[in-house]
Structures are given as C-alpha cells and as structure tokens.
Amino acid sequence: MIKNSNAIVLRRFPYSETSLIARCFVKDLGKVSFIVHGAHRKKSPMGAYFQPANCLDLVFYFKENRELQTISKASFNYSWCNIPKDLKKISYAMAMIELTDKCLIHNDSHNNLYDELFSSLKEVENSNNQLNIIYWHYQYSLLTFLGFKPDLDQSELDFIPLPNPYEGPNSKEIFNYFEKGEEKIDKNFILTAKDRRAISNYLNACLGIHFEGVKNLKSLKILREILSN
C-alpha cells in the first residue's frame, strides 16, 4: 500500500555502502523504520533529507507485518534555519528527538504528540531565551499524550518516591501553566536555580519510571555540559 504522510526524523543508521535505515515519527502511523536505498550515493539528495529533527513529506510503501518500509519519495515539509546555527538550540532539539524515540513504540499512532513535537521544535527555532521551559513543556506533554499525565499531588509512583515538584518558589506556577494545556508557551516566567532543579528532577523521575533508557540521553549530557560552561 502506498502512503503519504508528514514525518519527523528521529534517528538514522548506515545499512550498506549505499543505503541507510531511518527511524521516523510518522504522523499517521507513529514510529516507523524505513530503508532508504541509495542515500549514500553522491548524487542522491536522500542523505540530506534523513537527518534527525528534519520535517519531511514522505511517500512510501507500507506493509504492516514488515519491519522496514520502503521510501518512494521524500521532500522537506518544513526547514529549520536557526536551530543548525546554535549549539544550545541543537541540543534542546536533539533532546526532544531522542526522548521521543525512546518513548514511542513502532506503528502506534499519536497524532497529538506529533503535533506537539513539531510545535515544540518551532518554538526552539524561533525563541532565544528560556528554551528549558519549552523542553519541560514537551516532557510534560509527552507523558500526558502517552497516558501517563503527572499527578502533581502524588508523593510516589509505583512505590517509588517522587521529588517535590513545588520545591522551587515558582515551580508550582509553571506546572499549573503546563496543566492548562495552552498551545502558546509562555517563556516569561521567573526561574531560580531551585525552580530548575525541582521541575527537571520531577519530570525526569516520572519519565524514568514509565520508560526505560530515558535517564541516559546523550543529548542531555551534552546540554548539561553546555549550560555548565
């Protein structure tokens, strides 16, 4: 069956001297793995299309019982101008991409989460301050759309103690804002170091309980090194 859908590239792997495997978040299907024939050939544009965080319009052959689907055509659906030029923006974008890849399962559609990821990447593209709020908002949204909406009044989850989300002087206001589910992200909050720790520790704890492998995101390690300098 031939399908056409928007997709966000999550990860890519070499497959042979001329081809690669691309894992994508396809809006209509969820996480899907593709074989991209000829992507490493010099005259092929396919290698440029299938870079993590790229937003594409794909035409592909899809069989539900097949592990690798086959790409027919690819084109850019939306292009990033600012993200590739800014190391901090790159790190936040890659953190969202890597987190999504870790939390999704194959062929499980989540249209709302796709829209949220695309919207969050656009916020990173167009914002110059408080990118951490955009990232936290995406973490909260991911938990919510995948069926694990945080209950901020719980002190433990699956018998595991949770950090206090309201430990910072302004963290309760920020979490209340996340709970409202507004589309536009307000980046004018006042943040202290205590707020950053409270919000980050709480969301990371929730994600770590529900999903394996999210505690050691490579992109987050790079981001922490950037922010500490």
| Average pLDDT score over the chain | 90
39-46 mean pLDDT: 77
> What pLDDT digit, counting tens, does each position of 173-208 carry?
999 999 887 656 666 788 999 999 999 999 999 999
- Cα–Cα distance for residue pair 17/38, rounded to 1 Å: 9
pLDDT at residue 158 greater than cutoff 90: no
Has residue 226 got a pLDDT over 70?
A: no
What whole-number distance in Å separates Cα of residue 214 and Cα of residue 83? 23
Rounded mean pLDDT, 148-167 = 92
**Which of 11-25, 135-149, 170-184, 215-229 has the lowest average pLDDT?**
215-229
Q: Is 210 in a helix, a strand, or coil? A: helix
> What is the structure's pLDDT at 183?
58
Single-letter amino acid code for the residue at 114? Y
Q: Is 229's pLDDT higher than 60?
A: no
Amino acid letter, 69: Q
* SS3 per-residue string spanning 69-85: EEEEEEEEEECCCCHHH
The answer to whether 170 and 132 are in contact (CB under 8 A) is no
Q: Rounded to the nearest 5°, which phi and psi values hold at 4? A: -130, 125
pLDDT tens digit sequence for 104-141: 999 899 999 999 999 999 999 999 888 999 999 999 99
- pLDDT on residue 115: 96
Residue 55 has pLDDT above 70, yes or no: yes
**pTM of the prediction?**
0.92
Tokens of 40: 């490493």
Q: What are the structure tokens assigned to 96, written together?
A: 């969202």
What residue has token string 């699956």? 158
Query: Which tens digit of pLDDT belongs to each residue from 64-95?
Result: 889 999 999 999 999 999 999 999 999 999 99
| pLDDT attached to residue 182 | 65
